[in-house]
Amino acid sequence: MPELRQDPACGEWIVISTERGLRPELFRSGEKPGLRARHCPACPFCEGNESETLPEVWALRSGTPPNGPGWRLRVVPNKFAALVPRGDFRRHSELNFFRKAEGVGYHEVIIETPRHDLDLGTMPEADVEAVVRAYRARHAELRLDPRVEAVIIFRNHGKSAGTSVDHAHSQLIATPVVPNLVRERYEAAVSYYDDTGRVLLADILEKELEMGSRVVDENDAFAAFQPFAPRQPFETWIVPRSMAPSFASITDAQCRSLAKILRRTLYRLYTGLNDPDYNLVIHTASLRDENQPYYAWHLQVLPHITTPAGFEIGSGMYISTMLPEQTAAYMRKIEVAEAPS
Amino acid sequence: MPELRQDPACGEWIVISTERGLRPELFRSGEKPGLRARHCPACPFCEGNESETLPEVWALRSGTPPNGPGWRLRVVPNKFAALVPRGDFRRHSELNFFRKAEGVGYHEVIIETPRHDLDLGTMPEADVEAVVRAYRARHAELRLDPRVEAVIIFRNHGKSAGTSVDHAHSQLIATPVVPNLVRERYEAAVSYYDDTGRVLLADILEKELEMGSRVVDENDAFAAFQPFAPRQPFETWIVPRSMAPSFASITDAQCRSLAKILRRTLYRLYTGLNDPDYNLVIHTASLRDENQPYYAWHLQVLPHITTPAGFEIGSGMYISTMLPEQTAAYMRKIEVAEAPS
């Protein structure tokens, strides 16, 4: 019998239809990931090809000049930017009905490593920590622009997840409006706070730790679990124990712990499902809502296992084909190799 | 300069980033659709292979017995049903916190033609009308089940749109809860009605016809236009001139006119973009909201041109790469062949 479950963080119902008797290992992608060369001459993100990107806006370098080799991490504007940091943000209307505005904002690429053969799940832990710190640094800088209302940090891994370049990278888009989904998740948290006086995500985490069956990993500062109502098999949330509305407030110690658990989570996906395509996104309060107590930032990893289709588009409900209790048990059993150094 | 636009029907902002100077014809899929055989022995939806599906629940037959050859259209339960019409619908909770329920409902497949070589955009108009009437007939029957709260009628065309069988078919899922997105679209309409005393979609249609630049087609009872804030290039809405909350109320004359404009719209996509993958969905009020004046049913066709990725998942905002005024002009120019009979 299929089951309906509601995601408490946004009210979305999902269907878990397990009639086909699938086992978690069947979700492995067809091919084992091949070994890649350390350097790819045609890759715009590889060391030595810095002229293929726009000039860097931020980098980790030990004394080397910008836009040449000798770096650990680079941040550059996206060549095909969805939003651009030019001019005023003004709102207009057509026929006094349709609302539009200038596409002002930022769209940056965080090139996570000079090496073509590494990814977040397989690189040294210190490098993952550098990526998390780069997220924080860019968030800290872009928030100063008064035109920015929200910052979305995300990662597309693999073709079906929307990547065009397969060298390890994240992206960041800073928007001059509060996106719909950011508003909805925030409002669900406000409404829960109004009802209970508590932070919604804190209660979700408490219940997940109490049940335990969907927990994949824990450390001093974070827990990783597969949510009660996942949109895709193996969807995983990484949630801080000490909650705050904005990712901007992440501490140095939290950066280190997040890097640890994120690397371990992505390593498990890489090994357990043969390097599946996935999206990663950091949910954080919009800038004006950061000083309210309602929201709690967290990170979601959403593998691309099934294709959302007409039903999902028409209803917002997702159909998932495995219980998260089963997929979490599978992920827990995967032994995580020590991080290379 | 990119542009932000807000979809008035749901409040979602989209980005139109046209910096790359694309032309509409560049969105053509790589290959022209090949001619297919009229019959495919391995296809479970072809005439003669009726034993490959579950027994039909509805069909257009001229006197032939069920579940054998000699039909024009068949409706069968989905073999891999997301929801099933068994037992009571009961709500439960875990830890008095997580909400779940039995997956009660319907999941049906509408096999639109016995022929393997036809599709909605290329079949005779009378056959498209039979499909629209089948939608209405199934909606009329399933709404009688008191466990059903909403009926989602949709169509997945092509692999990236989630099809597993390439024989022409639609699907219908009847849910025992009101899906999130159905609720949100409804509430946007209620709020607009509260503010203005008017039906939101009626005002959208009026403005679209007044501007004209995004209109693709019109007939006596419907208009087809590409919306002000499309999520994908070539997104198209088909909207009735005489509005009603529920698709259930569609008249015989409207069925004929909808078939005409739908065939023409899909023919234009088929010809202009080389048979692109797309999803089609009918937005209609949930059953309990049908007798309120706020909502207006309509149909959306959403081609799969770009891949929604981390930004879309994290923000709800879509990035589209062409202005709808440009894509609509392109679609208007395509000459629509007379329907075969």
Closest CA to B204 of B1, B5, B4: B5
Q: Inform me whether the C-beta atom of residue A184 falls under 8 Å from chain B C-beta atoms.
A: yes
- Identify the closest residue of chain B to A150 by CA–CA distance: B315
Q: Does residue B28 contact residue B331 with C-beta atoms inside 8 Å?
A: no
Nearest to A281 among B210, B282, B310 (CB): B310
Set of chain A residues whose Cβ sits within 8 Å of the Cβ of B211 = 94-95
* Strand partners for A13: A6
Set of chain B residues whose Cβ sits within 8 Å of the Cβ of A175 = 13, 315, 317
Q: How confident is the model at residue B131 (pLDDT cuts 50, 70, 90)?
A: very high
Q: Inform me whether the C-beta atom of residue A304 falls under 8 Å from chain B C-beta atoms.
A: no
The pLDDT, as a whole number, for residue B157 is: 96
Q: Inform me whether the C-beta atom of residue A282 falls under 8 Å from chain B C-beta atoms.
A: yes
- Is A179 within 8 Å of B19 when comparing Cβ atoms? no
Q: Inform me whether the C-beta atom of residue A195 falls under 8 Å from chain B C-beta atoms.
A: no
A 67-86 → B contacts, CB under 8 A: 80-84, 86
Share of chain A above pLDDT 70, in %: 98
Q: Inform me whether the C-beta atom of residue A101 falls under 8 Å from chain B C-beta atoms.
A: yes
* Strand partners for B13: B6
**Quick check: helix, strand or coil at residue A210?**
helix
Q: How far apart are CA B236 and CA B334, in angstroms?
A: 15
CATH of B40-333, one of 3.50.50.60, 3.20.20.70, 3.90.226.10, 3.30.428.10: 3.30.428.10
Q: DSSP class of residue B291? A: T
Q: How far apart are CA A306 and CA A232, in angstroms?
A: 7
Q: How confident is the model at residue A20 (pLDDT cuts 50, 70, 90)?
A: low
CATH number of A32-333: 3.30.428.10
Q: What is the pLDDT of residues B153-209, one digit of tens each?
A: 999 999 999 998 999 999 999 999 999 999 999 999 999 999 999 999 999 999 999
C-alpha distances in Å from residue B92, one per residue of A7, A18, B51, B302: 14, 19, 38, 35
The pLDDT, as a whole number, for residue A22 is: 74
The pLDDT, as a whole number, for residue A118 is: 94
- Is B4 within 8 Å of A177 when comparing Cβ atoms? yes
Average predicted confidence (pLDDT) for chain A: 95
- Is A8 within 8 Å of B283 when comparing Cβ atoms? no
Q: What is the pLDDT of residues B276-320, one digit of tens each?
A: 999 999 999 999 999 999 999 999 999 998 888 999 999 999 999
Set of chain B residues whose Cβ sits within 8 Å of the Cβ of A8 = 97-99
The count of CB pairs under 8 A between chains A and B is: 240
Q: Please tell me the distance in Å from B310's CA to the nearest CA on chain A.
A: 5
Q: What is the pLDDT of residues A47-79, one digit of tens each?
A: 999 999 999 999 999 999 999 999 999 999 999
Q: Please tell me the distance in Å from A258's CA to the nearest CA on chain B.
A: 19
Q: What is the pLDDT of residues A108-150, one digit of tens each?
A: 999 999 999 999 999 999 999 999 999 999 999 999 999 999 9
Q: Is the pLDDT of residue B20 over 90?
A: no
Q: Inform me whether the C-beta atom of residue B211 falls under 8 Å from chain A C-beta atoms.
A: yes
Label residues A326-338 b or e (16+ Cβ within 10 Å = b): bbbebbeebeeee
The question of ipTM being above 0.95 is answered as: no
Count other Cβ atoms within 10 Å, centred on residue B53. Answer: 18
- Is A161 within 8 Å of B307 when comparing Cβ atoms? yes
The pLDDT, as a whole number, for residue B32 is: 73
Q: Would the pTM of this model clear 0.80, i.e. be above it? A: yes
Q: How far apart are CA A294 and CA A291, in angstroms?
A: 9
B 232-271 → A contacts, CB under 8 A: none
Q: Is the pLDDT of residue A27 over 90?
A: no
Nearest to A17 among B103, B159, B177 (CB): B103
Q: How confident is the model at residue A184 (pLDDT cuts 50, 70, 90)?
A: very high
A318-320 sheet: strands from edge to edge: A318-320, A13-16, A3-6, B98-102, B91-94
- Identify the closest residue of chain B to A9 by CA–CA distance: B98
Q: Please tell me the distance in Å from B65's CA to the nearest CA on chain A.
A: 30
Q: How far apart are CA A56 and CA A42, in angstroms?
A: 19
Nearest to B281 among A16, A156, A314 (CB): A314
The pLDDT, as a whole number, for residue B206 is: 98
- Is A2 within 8 Å of B82 when comparing Cβ atoms? yes
Set of chain A residues whose Cβ sits within 8 Å of the Cβ of B86 = 1
Q: Does residue B154 contact residue B282 with C-beta atoms inside 8 Å?
A: yes
Q: Is the pLDDT of residue A340 over 70?
A: no
**Which stretch of A321-325, A329-333, B18-22, B48-52 has the lowest confidence by average pLDDT?**
B18-22
The label of the residue with tokens 């350097």 reads A39
The pLDDT, as a whole number, for residue B35 is: 82
A60: CB partners within 8 A, 6+ apart: A71, A72, A73, A74, A130, A134
C-alpha distances in Å from residue B27, one per residue of A76, B41, B306, B327: 28, 33, 10, 10
The pLDDT, as a whole number, for residue B340 is: 66
Nearest to B2 among A82, A180, A184 (CB): A82
Strands A318-320 and A13-16, sheet pairing: parallel
Q: Does residue A84 contact residue A66 with C-beta atoms inside 8 Å?
A: no
